[in-house]
Copies of this chain bind each other. A is one copy, B any other.
Amino acid sequence: MADGHRPPTVQGREFFTAITVADALAGFEPARRTPIESVAVPDARGRVPAAPVHSPAALPGFARSTVDGYAVRATDTFGASESLPGYLEVVGAVRMGAAPTVAVTTGGAVTMPTGGALPEGADAVMMVEHTQATMPGTIEVTRPVAAGENIVRADEDIAVDAVLVPAGRPLRPQDLGVLAAAGVTEVAVHIRPRVAVLSTGDEVVPPSTPHLEPGKVRDATASALAGLIDEAGGDADLRGIVPDDAGALDAALRSALADADVVVVSAGSSVGARDETAGVVAGLEPPGIFCHGLAVKPGKPTLLAECDGVPIIGLPGNPLSALVVFRLVGLPLVRRVGGWTVTPVEPTSSATLTRPVASAAGRRDVVQVRLGDDGTADPLTGASALLSLLTQADGYLVVPEAATGIDAGATVEVTHYQ
């Protein structure tokens, strides 16, 4: 935890006070970053460089023609026009992919392919379209070229030591291309954060349970979290279901803290189970609860803590709430631990709200919506926060803290699920 952001202890009054999402994102800043590993460039999409990568070489590395034509000395073409063409002697040809074997001297020209290396003595390339073959071995040029025209300089694409890719931004396909072009075949990136997921709750049974006894519920949250963790560039470590028992939870938590870069506790939905999670986290040494309660709906009973440098997120027991809040605060946290210093741009679109949505001032509301073909966004609300709302949704809209709701007919910005 950065200095100046000491978490309030369990004794602090903040412990029971919901803080805003913005305050949580700004204030909960664990310093942990995963170590570095070396990855082959073609496999490195989405991986996060730990330091800027500098180019070991200039690119293209030699002056190169950008057209098919003739390498010339520009001064030899000055004054050439349709009415008063100049004449140059073709003294040789550059072959694609080969070093030039001939130089250009005054009055001479060398045949060039696009991409070919400029021969010594030449300082421009005349496009073939602006020449005519008159006699064998001679071309007529009908306009002048300036020095440097139709040429890429030896370091015009990349200079030696230029930054090929910055630190902290996941590598994009074209970044892999420029690394390869510069002769970089391996790149030092942050290891994917290992995110341990503990499920708690006496009512929770494994997804493989074929038949549910009344009162039981299969663990939906852990599998969905695995997907969200993957989306954030982490590796999920689903550690199974821990009984609602302080001793068992404490042991499971300590074991997870020893192995993981981030620990997520998917809390039982009963008040007792939730309090137990908070109690066990509060009992860890050193104590490091940052907040217990976020001003967000759904997702209020969220706990953020840090123990020995490992961030801990305690999620609400309701799967819908857990997934909404993990998207809000868990994705940025996992990315940060994995070395991201940028925020990804989410796909969004504008839509017209079909029905009003209510909110409360001071609270951020995340509302699932279904998008219509007619540019509408239909809020999926219901008394019961069921997981199927989230699978029916095409995306979500956010009612900010300052608003108390959004009217039907308003234009809203919907973030799309992918």
Contact = CB atoms under 8 A, between A and B. Distances in A.
Contacts of A203: 96-97, 115
Contacts of A95: 215
Interface stretch (A227-235, A253-261, A278-286): A227-235
A205 to B, nearest CB: 9
Given A66-B383, A225-B173, A388 B213 contact: no
Nearest to A319: B177
A417 interface: yes
Interface stretch (A19-27, A71-79, A81-89, A266-274): A266-274
Interface stretch (A133-141, A164-172, A356-364): A164-172
Nearest to A149: B383
Interface in A17-60: 41-46, 57, 59-60
A209 interface: yes
A47 B393 CA distance: 18
Contact of A202 (B97, B215, B238): B97
A179 interface: yes
Nearest to A215: B117
A208 B220 contact: no
Given A183-B208, A212-B61, A348-B347, A223 B96 contact: no
A229 to B, nearest CB: 9
B157 A387 contact: yes
Interface in A171-201: 171-185, 201
Interface residues of A, number: 104
B177 A220 contact: yes
A247 interface: no
Contacts of A319: 177, 181
A401 interface: no
A92 interface: no
A345 B417 CA distance: 9
Contact of A227 (B116, B171, B204, B220): B171
A41 B347 contact: no
Contacts of A57: 211-212
Contacts of A351: none
B215 A97 contact: yes
Nearest to A158: B388
Nearest to A226: B42
Given A180-B207, A181-B207, A416-B345, A387 B213 contact: no
B236 A42 contact: yes
A275 interface: no
Interface in A142-165: 150, 152, 156-158, 164-165
Given A96-B202, A156-B386, A177-B391, 14 more contacts: A42-B227, A59-B388, A60-B217, A97-B203, A98-B202, A98-B215, A114-B271, A173-B228, A173-B323, A174-B323, A180-B220, A181-B319, A183-B210, A347-B348
